[in-house]
Amino acid sequence: MTEKKIDRKLIRHIALLARIEMTDEQAETLGRQFAGIVAYMDKLGELDTDGVEPMAHALDVRNVLAEDTPGRSLPVEQAMANAPARDGGFYKVPKVIGDSQ
């Protein structure tokens, strides 16, 4: 791996790219944290992974949602009971795209 020093200049560049303002103290702290993360990743790179199957998740991921089965619908009047504004059987909401008039 190419070794690049994590210094204040690099931290400031990353902050600029992320549009984050930070003090010198924050930059110093973030620099130490980044250096620790990079050192840990380098340590992980030393592991022998020959014969280890790549995986997308460390845990067995599966869908735990209930089956989607149709049920009884609310009557329109009950569904609209708390609507602050209505237009017939529809919710009326302020316009959010284009002119606000």
The larger pLDDT score, comparing residue 24 to residue 101, is at 24
The larger pLDDT score, comparing residue 61 to residue 84, is at 84
Q: Tell me, what's the pLDDT at 100?
A: 52
- Report pLDDT digits (tens) over 4-54: 688 888 999 999 999 999 999 999 999 999 999 999 989 988 999 898 888
List own/partner pairs for 29-33 with CB under 8 A and 24 or more apart. 31/6, 31/7
User: What one-character DSSP code corresponds to residue 73?
Assistant: P
Q: Which helix (H) or strand (E) holds 86?
A: strand 86-87
Q: Tell me, what's the pLDDT at 59?
A: 86
Cα separation values, 94 from 25, 67, 86, Å: 45, 35, 11
The larger pLDDT score, comparing residue 68 to residue 19, is at 19
How sure is the predictor about 88, in pLDDT bands with cuts at 50, 70 and 90?
Answer: confident
